[in-house]
Structure 1
């Protein structure tokens, strides 16, 4: 769909239909979805050529595109040029970009700057902030920010925030603490949290715990292939080939098989899908 949106914009240009701010926001969103910095730069040049006035929404779309497509420094330059046009979305987009590129300390500093400027954080910016702490190993700061959500800002953590905390603890090798954290959650953990724990158990040698969680996931969702694959991988790590074989046999009886992934490549500002042949 995003590639179609870019092509539609090209068609508009060929028919000499002048785009407006709304059009450019949509096209930039498509570039972001495609992860194409080259396309995004081209769209920015179109904005300049058409002398389209940058309102807050267009600034935010540009910032989001640059932040997520790999040029977070350009996103920061645009952000700093906004002045009074900044919204919480502007702050969040830069924090997300910094988080994605492992610049957690800068993301934390920007969050503190945001709060200091009088902008009240919301649940979305806390997801970005916790993600920044996760990818930069800032576990203690992450804990403090998570606790501050309810205590200072009156924001009730949602499953996404709990998921960030579990991911943070798992990446830091604190698998048992992550498991205890999940057990104490006031809301039901989702399968993503379970699979995060299992992968951490496999990576950090907590194989019996991983086996226990995998078995529970299969019990809760017996038709989801990835749950069986995770359990099979745990048994492989344990060198328990008999149990690994039994899991694979169970998958075959249920007619399960892995679905091939899809890739996209960019050639001359055009996106092409690549699907492997089985």
Structure 2
């Protein structure tokens, strides 16, 4: 039920059900916790509360929980400007031999993008393919493009889009076009227009 409410973006209701479940003596399963990580990124206190609950109930070693914890924390810290903490959490996850998945990398790229950690974000974007064999989705490409475009590295952002094996959507190309204009890279505007066609 919590997962369904999260998907419908009814976060307050999802939080209420989580509290009611906990207060009613019902022990949520690990997958319930994983779904709550989706809405805790906008509520730092709730994230801490949910994390503590998993520790108290010995759920932190369940299969889906380490990645969900990383996702929750890195998105939360990233959106609060603490991308270095997200990188630290990712490194701890790797040390624990938990294999990161697409969601973990997306959260990490998001944190690097919002924290201005361009070199680190680019390194992790490359690492997901080379070290872990994970093919980026349009969301990963979008994060990497925003990361480079915002920092003025529009040539690098353009290269990513040209080389990506999937078709870029209009929103992604529009963001790149804006970055080209914002940083005075008018010569790249034509390449972006060609990608749109």
Q: TM-score range by the shorter chain?
A: 0.7 to 0.9
Deviation per CA, 1:48-89: give whole Å up to 9, x if none. 34322121122223333222xx22243134224243232433
Return the index of the structure with the highest Cα Rg.
1
Deviation per CA, 1:95-151: give whole Å up to 9, x if none. 233333333111111111111111111222111111111111111111211221222
Where structure 1 has 5 or more consecutive residues not aligned to the other structure, the ranges are 1-22, 221-278
The answer for the alignment partner of 2:44 in structure 1 is: 72
Query: Shift of the alpha carbon at 1:191?
Result: 2.6
The 1:184–1:55 alpha-carbon spacing in structure 2 relative to 1, beyond 3 Å, is: closer
The answer for the alignment partner of 1:51 in structure 2 is: 25
Q: Secondary structure at the match of 1:83?
A: coil
Distance in 2, matches of 1:201 and 1:42, equals: 44
Where structure 2 has 5 or more consecutive residues not aligned to the other structure, the ranges are none
Q: TM-score, normalised by structure 2?
A: 0.80
Q: Does 1:192 align with 2:192?
A: no
Q: Does 1:151 align with 2:130?
A: yes
Please show how residues 71-150 of structure 1 align to structure 2 within 5 Å.
71-80=43-52, 81=55, 82-85=59-62, 86-150=65-129
Distance in 1, matches of 2:94 and 2:26, equals: 31
Query: Shift of the alpha carbon at 1:212?
Result: 5.5
The 1:189–1:75 alpha-carbon spacing in structure 2 relative to 1, beyond 3 Å, is: same
Q: TM-score, normalised by structure 1?
A: 0.59
Task: For CA contacts below 8 A with separation 6 or more, give which structure has more relative contact order.
Answer: 2
Tell me which of 153, 160, 164 is aligned to 1:181.
160
Q: Does 1:27 align with 2:5?
A: yes
The 1:64–1:141 alpha-carbon spacing in structure 2 relative to 1, beyond 3 Å, is: same
